[in-house]
Structure 1
Amino acid sequence: MVNSSHEPVETREDQAVTLTNVRSKHGLTNAIVHVFLHSNLSLVLIVLSVALGLAALFLTPREEDPQIVVPLADVFVQFPGHSAEEVEQLVTAPLEKVLYHIDGVEYVYSMSRRDQAIVTVRYYVGQDRERSLVKISKRIDENMDTIPAGVTGWVVKPVEIDDVPILNLTLTSDTADDHALRRVAEELVNRLAAVKNISRAYVIGGRKRQVSVYLDPDRLEAYDISPLEIEYALKASNVTISAGRFTRNDTVFDVEAGEAFADSEELNDLVVAVKNGRPVSLKDVARVVDGPEEVTNYTRHVWGSAAGFENEWGTVGWVVGGESETTNVQPGREGCAVTIAIAKKKGTNAVWVARDVIRKAEELTREVVPDDMDLVITRNFGQSADEKVNELVESLVVAIIIVIALMTLGLGWRESLVVAVA
């Protein structure tokens, strides 16, 4: 005789009864544990947790500076015709006292220069940004009676952490002057502004283009013309005024009167007066120079001992679009320089924005930058932010491995595996 035994098959009704019995005997906690042990829900949750963690690691914006709410604002006050000392005594010092007594203000900084004062107001961390700006404007309006008569206006400009440039590209040369460098840099800025997620792009250093008029005192005296007549003629001629509009064939045409000067030649031929029935041109009494403005500061760049192309792509010191046979890059070599500063939009990834700007700059160097100029990276917060995040992840992985190893020695591999998965 053959004896055979068959284990009873547990039906859904039996599982429900068992779950009810477990709940009644051991409570809700044991019932939940029973469900996770006898179903695939645990595996699904583990996979989902890992997926969410990886998504957070790779998709969370990496930034050098954290998004901490610290309301900042600059107050620009125009006080023309006064020296820096007068601006400080009449405008800056009284304004500092007024703004410092605003609720929530932590620090007040100031800078006085000729014809202008700049006062920076910094609030405590966590203050509401919009309300903080309103408080500044309201406090200034309440003290209108104390403002000196010579003040022509003021502007309250908010400052955010994202206004700090994440990427600096320095254009340098030992043969070209700062004016030529700035003109090339301005062209680069105009094209780099098209890169996605850029909030600001501007040039630091270098002399701007300026048309200067140098009057000849002897000729002015000979023609009996005063400098004020020259000034009036220049202001009256270099203006464009709207003269109305008309409609024809369902098209609106705007009419303008006057024309601004297009080049220095038009300025030379400007009639500034009529003497003895003869027109007097500007070139008869003055010299017109179309070139850089006067020097107010100097910006220099010196190649360090590690200059060249040993630097990795996109790192500080790397020459954008450079090739190994370039001879401009030599340690200790010095030249004029201007810097292109790039700031990103709020909430965007500094690593991605810096990478996109550098790639675009590589393309533009072949089209815009002359051979005697080099474009070098002098700041890259995207690179440093990426390095810090990677260091954090590496430290986290090492810590997890150490914890698992210690738990394996003390509790066994099964328990340590549970902790590792968690």
Structure 2
Amino acid sequence: MVTRRSLLKCTGGAAAAGITAGGIALISRNGGDGGIDDDGKTFESIDIDYGASADPTEIYRVWTGYPRRFSFVEDEAYTGETALRCTIPVNASDGSNAMFWFPDEGYEQPREVAQRSMIRLSENWTMADGDICRFWSAGLNTAAGTHGSGGRGKPSGNDGWSTMLAVTDRGTDGDDLYNLGAYTYHMDQQGASGEFELIDAPIPAGKWFRLETYVRMNTVTDGTAERDGVVRCWVNGNLVYERTDFRWTTTEAQAIEYAGPLVRYGGSETAPTDLAVYYDDHELRGNDAADGSARYRGPFVEEPANMDEYEGRLTIVTDADTETTYRLYIGGYIVHTQWDNVDGREASPNDAVEISLADNTQNGSVTVDAEAGPDTADGYLFDGELVAVDADPGLAELWLSGDRVDPAEYPSTPSE
């Protein structure tokens, strides 16, 4: 059986899931050294065929927002018969993310990534004055932390980063034309949200355009981030944006985890009507794997994308006014995980959680001991069953695999 994790390492398996490992020398062929060099460890070029897959989740990690807003559609393709579509309903902000996740395909995080895709805004695309809509991730990292999105503050160099592209009505006078914008979370941004830069590259509604992006991580010297991170963007073969002074990381362990389609309308703004973004002919290539050996995740920490490998999900939410100490008893196995939701709530593995194996605990249960601040959330994946819950004070919310349950239904200790 070919799994997604081994997909690109097995001859013939990739094509069955709509991903073809090829021998393209460059993704971006314009703009001098914009393409990937052959130095270092170069990953195979990846051509994605939407028509060979039944669902976007077979190719991308689709998460946050409303994942079902990404779907394959016929009669809308640039080539072939199938395109990828993300819808944004009227008065809504969230589309979703459908990005290629390098670690899930058996790769370490590359330090440089080139991409190419055909993209089209829906024919009825319209935006209110000043609105922006992100539609593409040239590079993103969440494994290191959450400071690459959501207005969570300036990245410090070891807690996430991102560089995205958006469309906006700013700087355009013609009907059905929208400029590009670069939206980047980096160590030198001025505010809590990423830096937005207007790009003079008008994009027409209802027409396909070829987007090419290239990202190279900044170098690190003795734990200090050098100002040499690179982002380039081409539209229909023309270089429209270039910066070579970004600082994203102070550690070699943090590189490019995700790349590809990402849709979010506005910050607080909402879509004025039902909108859609279409994608086709997505190609990627990565190079220069990051030092994964330096990336410590702890013995009981799991990536959220591996959720389906566990029998259940568990979410703890504490009271808004006081710190909480709690203990969970699991008849089976449990790991800490990371997620965030559309309400702005986050759960991240942290040092205040200690998981003990069954042979060191009473009655054969695995225990989770934790201290949590007011109005915080902890997330877990587990096999087996939740046996007992002991919390001081009581928990504000307890969720099991998406269903809210009453913590009082569980004893404070396992029965003898």
Q: TM-score normalised by the shorter chain: which range applies? A: under 0.3
TM-score by length of 2: 0.19
TM-score by length of 1: 0.19
The structure whose Rg is larger is 1
More helix per residue: 1 or 2? 1
More strand per residue: 1 or 2? 2
